[in-house]
Amino acid sequence: MTDPSDARTAASPTDILGASVIGGRSVRGGDGEIAAIDPRTGVELEPSVGLIGSEELDRAASLAAEAFSRFRATTPLQRAALLESIAKNLEAIAEVLADRVVLETGLPRVRAVSETGRTTGQLRLFADVLREGVFHDARIDRAQPDRSPVPRADIRLRKIALGPVAVFGASNFPLAFSVAGGDTASALAAGCPVIVKAHGAHPGTSELVGRAIADAVAANGLHPGVFALVFGRGEQIGKRLVEHPAIAAVGFTGSRRGGSALVQAAARRAVPIPVYAEMSSINPVFLLPSVLADADALAASWIGSLTLGAGQFCTNPGLVFVPAGDAANTFIASAGRRVSAAPDATMLTPGIAAAYADATAKLSRTDGVTTVAEGEADDEIAHSGTPQIFAVDASTFLSETALQEEVFGAAGIIVTVRDVGQMIEILKGLEGQLTVTIHGDQTDEGVSQLIATAEERAGRILFNGWPTGVEVGHAMVHGGPYPATSDPRATSVGSLAIDRFLRPVSYQSFPAELLPEPVLDANPWQVWRQIDGTPGKV
């Protein structure tokens, strides 16, 4: 174990020391080491990362608790400045960051560059949210002393930060859903200190980003406990972090097994806390009769979405339903030709590649499942995933629950059904999803009922589009019923994500001198609020 008082500080923002960041300093733990692996070559990357133990984690959590009261009391403008400073720091190291992302993940450089832009865009989005002020959800019910039979007291409401948040970095988005991703941005915007448990697949990337955040915290004169980045032994350090009494909420992106374990750990605490976990989705697509004349074009666009990023997206459209017949046969044949021509792709980690191989092999052995096509393997890629598609009829799909399990990678199942009515019945029986996609138009019989059923099953419904690609904006929902997420009321993408880390507080019969700014009569911050039920900037 390394004493944090003896921690090394990086010489420059682009140095990688293989260290956690605690209290604004680099801390190389002594509880073992891990190393990233270049998934294209299988070669271990330098430097190795020193893992922290329980004492260092406790220190990070204690510093976060110490920082909380002061950080939540900062003004929205101060927190906006912090978020913008982080964005600028990331842009200053963008070239080095992209190089490291490519090395640790095998993702193409264009993806690394675009994801950097998405990450800085999210940070600036929440800076705008802070300036605009709707997130306060300020409400004022003015006193009615003459109301009969009972007078009404003056009651005012605003939302405040929950407390320190534990964030778990994702494997498939080393930037946008990781150290400075949406969970971190929205939690900091809410006024919550953040401790990020870095993903072991891209530690160098995580450290570069973590120090960019810590430098921004220091430059803005904030308590160093506002942010920490920790590297530790998987489930052991993650469970301890969630169970730590200083932690008030959790943001997680990953597997159902991992997310469910955190939910259970949080529920067993003496003081249970919310866990916002995005976990599992197969994102079904329904092709209605009105679009089947374009079966070939639909197949082309589906395969493009399915194979994007080697299929390593939580919104990957892994399941397609189409009415049986000539058009379905055309769709299947066309999709097969395109998959056969699709190149092998690098998977993010050896573990993900192995899990994909196991899952697709299991599908190919399932009774009633036909392997339509698979791409050509590339022996020069150490850890790859060959695109594959399969076909089944509706009765087989309904009888084999394993066909409803997520396969993380470019694998898709085409299900031939009797009609739209059977699509609706199948959708009613599916687990919760991040997305449901419908291709059709208003003339399709049953389309309204299909949409209504989709509303019960998913957080986002697409019409004549494809779910890969999640816009970061004000109207986006990236969430859904279990097991897509652990809480269907929340989103992890878009401005509404800030609500996960806030709670409402009412102030009754307060003197004006003691009221917080969002609910003062003068409205000094000029925020939107409801006064006696009427919204406005008054």
**Are 71 and 226 contacting, i.e. CB atoms less than 8 angstroms apart?**
yes
How many Cβ atoms are within 10 Å of 121's Cβ, its own excluded? 14
> Residue 428 in contact with residue 453, Cβ under 8 Å?
yes
Pick the closest to residue 492 from 143, 159, 126, 225 (CA basis). Answer: 126
CA dihedral sign, ordered 452, 457, 459, 463: negative
Residue of 223, 130, 257, 224 whose CA lies nearest to 185: 130
Q: Is there a contact between 263 and 242 (Cβ–Cβ < 8 Å)?
A: no
DSSP letters for 52-97? P-HHHHHHHHHHHHHHHHHHHTS-HHHHHHHHHHHHHHHHHTHHHH
> Nearest 5°: phi and psi at 390?
-130, 160
**Residue 344 DSSP label:** P
Please check whether residue 231 is in contact with residue 52, taking contact to mean a CB–CB distance below 8 angstroms: yes
Cis previous bond, 483, omega within 30: yes
- The DSSP bridge pattern shows strands 20-22 and 25-27 to be antiparallel
Q: Give the 3-state secondary structure of 414-460.
A: EEEECCHHHHHHHHHHCCCEEEEEEECCCCCCCHHHHHHHHHHHEEE
- How crowded is residue 368: how many other Cβ atoms within 10 Å of its Cβ? 13
Helix (H, G, I), strand (E, B) or coil at 298: helix
Q: At what angle do helices 295-307 and 326-340 cross, to 10 degrees?
A: 40
Task: Confirm whether 278 is a catalytic residue.
Answer: yes
Distance CA 39, CA 383 (A): 5
Question: Would you call 184 helix, strand, or coil by DSSP?
Answer: helix
Spatial distance between the Cα atoms of 406 and 359, rounded to a whole number of angstroms: 9
Residue for token pair 């096509």? 373
| Catalytic residue flag (residue 104) | no
Pairwise CA distance, residues 89 & 513, whole Å:
39
First to last CA, the chain: 55
* Structure-token match 């067993």, residue found: 268
Number of H-type helices and E-type strands within the chain: 14, 23
Q: How far is CA 69 from the centre of its chain?
A: 27
Q: Of 278, 374, 406, 431, which is the active-site residue?
A: 278
**What are the helix (H) ranges across 73-202?**
76-92, 94-105, 109-132, 182-190
Both tokens of 340, joined, read 């056969």
Nearest to residue 485, comparing CAs of 159, 183, 221, 196? 183
Q: Which candidate in 115, 192, 314, 431 is catalytic?
A: 314
Q: Catalogue the active-site residues.
A: 278, 314
